[in-house]
Amino acid sequence: MKNLLNVEQVKKKLKSAKTVLYVDAHQNVKIPNLALMKLSQYLQIDYDYVDGTTLKQLPDSKLFRDYDIVFVSCIFQYKFEDIIVHIRTKGWENKTIIGGYGSPYTHKLEDLIGKKADIYDFSLYPWFEPNIGFSQRGCRGRCDFCVVPTNEGRNHSVNSLKGLLQKPTNKLVLLDNDFFGQRNWKEKAEYILENELKISFNQGINVRLLKEEQAEYLVKINPYSYTFKQRLLNTAWDQLKDEKLFRKRLEMLLGKGYRPDCIMVYMLIGFEEGETFDDIWYRFWTLQSYSVFPYPMVFIHPSPNELSRGCKLFRQWVTYYAKDRFIKHNTGDVDERAYYKDFKEFFTANSGDLSEEICEYFQVTKFKEVKYERKPTKRIRSEEREAMTSLWG
């Protein structure tokens, strides 16, 4: 988009700027945007803040002043075009700079303010209670669908946990993509335990790379969800080819005493070329057999297609069914074919104008035997069930 500001132009404007607007391009924000918080901390300029929802729904709100600069942070590519439309509509092209992994621009926050400590202005998100930040960046993996290794490089430590405790609470949301991949993971794990920190590994833990000693520490840390209303460990099984290693490490973790009903496993669907619904269903049912929560994560294609729509229906069914079945008991034997029958009824009722070809895709042609000795889980208390249900809303 032409006429947007570059870094040098912003630096000149900052010399006389009196009011700025911080825009998080995403809607229904649940996790604060650290780039905007850090920028606000170091600029110390009178500001307003909006997310994508407010920007879309309140175009004539009194919130909008005659801002000198509009800072937009866009993390996901699929939101970039939406934010451009809003900027054009409001005539802000000559006062806006857009950054983030979801934008096509290469400038970074440090290009604007220099290399600064990760200190955040939490006044942008007064509703957010915990501390938050990265203790490491990068990842050991090289997954085709992930931008982290490209944007952040190999795993490296960036902050001490003490440095991230900037609010008077022992709750800390870690945005690390590979916590146990950093060299000083043990030192940080010990710090968590010694200081009785409540930790949420919001981006998850890569179970496939988990070593035995790390699994033991993970059981002791016993992480929370980002709301801190329930215990929750996020992990992922994204590709069928990783089955053997994933199941081996998951069984190791469960063998250390980790509660399966406190584990949510994201399963990427709609990305891998040649993937069949048999493959998707097999991953789903295998995870169900462990009494963990499977959560289908639909790959967002640059151009929406029918397959994505079908995958979203599967995700919708899983989240609904989780509320109805997984959370209530998740014990004993469950008939796999009864599950599939329920899905087919749901899919048929909600498929709308999806083509016959796509509808045929979402058929299980054969059921594979899942070899795992299912163990009954401890019955969940009603308050835990209510909190867990909110995760699937």
- Give the type of residue at 17: A
Q: What's the pLDDT score for residue 150?
A: 74
Strands 171-174, 156-157: pairing is: unpaired
* CA 74 vs CA 101, 126, 300: distances in Å: 7, 21, 15
pTM of the model: 0.88
Dihedral pair phi/psi, residue 245, rounded to 5° = -70, -40
Instruction: Give the largest Cα separation in the chain, rounded.
Output: 68
pLDDT band for position 26 (50/70/90)? confident
Strands 198-201, 171-174: pairing is: parallel
Domain limits of the chain? Answer: 7-113, 129-258, 285-393
CATH number for the segment(s) 7-113: 3.40.50
Q: What's the pLDDT score for residue 367?
A: 79
Looking at mean pLDDT, say which of 75-84, 170-179, 267-276 comes out highest. 170-179
Question: Which positions ≥6 away from 307 have C-beta within 8 Å?
Answer: 270, 358, 361
The vertex-145 CA angle with 107 and 250, nearest 5°, equals 125
Neighbours of 203 (CB within 10 A): 19
Q: Which of 347, 329, 333, 339 shows the shortest CA–CA distance to 385? A: 329
Cα gap 164→361, rounded to integer Å: 47
Neighbours of 366 (CB within 10 A): 7
Ramachandran category for residue 91: left, alpha or beta (phi over 0 → left; psi -120 to 50 → alpha): left
Given a contact cutoff of 8 angstroms between Cβ atoms, the answer to whether 388 and 327 are in contact is yes
Judged against a pLDDT cut of 70, whether residue 374 lies above it is answered with: no
Q: What's the pLDDT score for residue 337?
A: 82
Judged against a pLDDT cut of 50, whether residue 389 lies above it is answered with: no
Cα gap 236→326, rounded to integer Å: 18
Q: What's the pLDDT score for residue 329?
A: 43
Judged against a pLDDT cut of 60, whether residue 78 lies above it is answered with: yes
The vertex-235 CA angle with 369 and 120, nearest 5°, equals 170
How many residues can be counted in the chain? Answer: 393
Looking at mean pLDDT, say which of 26-30, 55-59, 66-70, 321-325 comes out highest. 66-70
pLDDT band for position 196 (50/70/90)? very high
Q: What's the pLDDT score for residue 142?
A: 75
Judged against a pLDDT cut of 50, whether residue 32 lies above it is answered with: yes
* CA 107 vs CA 8, 83, 111, 154, 285: distances in Å: 11, 18, 6, 20, 44
Architecture of domain 129-258: 2-Layer Sandwich (3.30)
Judged against a pLDDT cut of 80, whether residue 226 lies above it is answered with: yes
Q: Is 51 exposed, middle or buried (0-12, 13-18, 19+ CB in 10 A)?
A: middle
Strands (DSSP E) contained in the chain are: 19-24, 46-51, 69-73, 96-99, 131-133, 136-137, 156-157, 171-174, 198-201, 233-236, 263-269, 293-298
Given a contact cutoff of 8 angstroms between Cβ atoms, the answer to whether 282 and 240 are in contact is yes
Residue-wise pLDDT for 236-268, tens only, equals 999 999 999 999 999 999 999 999 989 999 999
Dihedral pair phi/psi, residue 242, rounded to 5° = -90, 10
319 token code pair: 């989240």
Cα gap 377→347, rounded to integer Å: 30
Residue-wise pLDDT for 277-332, tens only, equals 999 999 998 998 888 989 999 987 766 688 889 999 999 999 876 555 554 444 44
